Amino acid sequence: MTTMIVGHRSQQPSVAEINGFQGRLISADHADYDIARAVWNGAIDRRPRLIARCIGTADVIAAVRFARDNDMEIAIRGGGHNVAGTAVCDDGIVIDLSAMRGVRVDPADRSAWVQGGALWGDVDRETQAHGLATTGGIVSHTGVAGLTLGGGVGWLMRKHGLTVDNLLAADVVTADGDLLRASEDEHSDLFWALRGGGGNFGVVTSFEFRLHAVGPAVLAGPILWDANDAGDVLRFYRDFVRDAPDELGTVVRFGTAPPLPVIPEDLHWRPVMIVGSCYAGPIEDGEKTLRPLRAFGTPLLDLVGPTPYVGFQSALDSTVPHGWNYYWKSTHLPELHDELVDVIAGHAFSSSSPRSYVALFQLKGAVSRVAEGETAFGNRQASHAITLDAAWRPGEDYGDQDTAWTRRFFAALGPFREGVYINFLGNDEDPNRVREAYGEPVYDRLVDVKTKYDPDNVFHHNQNIRPI
């Protein structure tokens, strides 16, 4: 039986119109509406006509067909973690998968089946029970669906590839409300597009991933240096990671030291450069690999040590909580030659909000060994991805200042830009940036797949690839 919570608008659907839906339908006058429409980025304030919280694939099929029959815009919510807020729309329907969080692990086959509303914390907990994992971001409350469909960067990518490089199959509800299985053997063109093409091609209700032996303990943690040393440390880091083994994943953060329990109070909110690392191999090998980095300069704090992989995956969660306001600019970058280092070090610490930061992701390794065009993820030869992340709490008056900071910083990076990771695009981007994310050959092929599976552009509330 449909659970219907009906609003006051005359255009509100009735129970009969969405017959067969077994989940929960939430409209604008219900007490849960504001909670249900909220997403990770608190700066996003959109008011859908209806939120369809699905409990299974049949609900997704019913919701897609209902939306098409009623000419309603569709937003798809997995984890609701995209900075552009694509998980919620104005006046349309949100197909909400947040109640679909099942994870089933086959340890013998080293694979996992994951529902489309799962978070990476759900996946990590279940897979690590068997000493297994796959590449899955650096924050555990990120949604599986959005991260995967955009490509999927994370600590394990240099060793085991992007998340899409570990995708074996997906169940997809298309714009016609049909359920398709996409894999190398079934609807292979759709499977290719799902591996980096974002939410343009349908609602993915479940994923099947390849798993790898990881942990349960890894050598991981941050090293902090004073912001005044950032230029020298970044140059050393550049040379250090160039020849580092693929087992080592690193992310550099420029900003202030967050007030985490593991960080001494006298360092809280101090401007620092942080190199976070995770070694996906034997602990003793990681100790040897990281020794030169840990010995460089005068670190303020070194927290590298053996730690449970699950715990490390959630260590940054409180630094980017739900409900803060976020504004991002991003680009891929080449090798960090001296001029680029000067630009980064010269702009990274000039934000106003103590919560704003810059994140620099090291790519290469297994990411670059997959040929361009083998999946829809573009710019595989880029050395780094950088995000310029303005962040401020509700009620704080930093929004205009730090939005301007990210734009100035992004402009200064102009001579060095090499495409962009689609999941890092904001909600005010030049439409050409979507094409930039893929490059012409991949983008043109994505257009062909889009035209085949969604010729009416039903799924357009995303970083959109328009059909012909």
The verdict on 250 and 342 lying in the same domain is yes
The verdict on 188 and 228 lying in the same domain is no
Residue reference for tokens 């734009």: 407
The verdict on 131 and 90 lying in the same domain is no
Residue 170, H or E segment: strand 167-173
User: 226 lies in which domain range?
Assistant: 217-424
Two structure tokens written together for 458 = 């039903």
Residues 6+ apart with CB under 8 A from 451: 467, 468
The verdict on 203 and 309 lying in the same domain is no
Q: With respect to residue 310, please indicate whether it lies within any of the assigned structural domains.
A: yes
Where the chain has pLDDT below 50, the residues are 1-10, 15-16
The verdict on 296 and 375 lying in the same domain is yes
Q: With respect to residue 313, please indicate whether it lies within any of the assigned structural domains.
A: yes
- Cα gap 458→435, rounded to integer Å: 19
Cα torsion 39, 41, 46, 47: sign = positive
Q: Residue 13: what pLDDT?
A: 52
Two structure tokens written together for 450 = 């889009």
Two structure tokens written together for 285 = 């090998």
Cα-based distances in Å from 435 to 189, 406, 407, 452: 19, 22, 20, 19
- Cα gap 32→26, rounded to integer Å: 7
* pTM of the full structure: 0.95
The verdict on 26 and 173 lying in the same domain is no
Two structure tokens written together for 178 = 């049909």
Q: Residue 18: what pLDDT?
A: 78
Q: With respect to residue 186, please indicate whether it lies within any of the assigned structural domains.
A: yes
The verdict on 332 and 382 lying in the same domain is yes
The verdict on 202 and 287 lying in the same domain is no
The verdict on 203 and 224 lying in the same domain is no
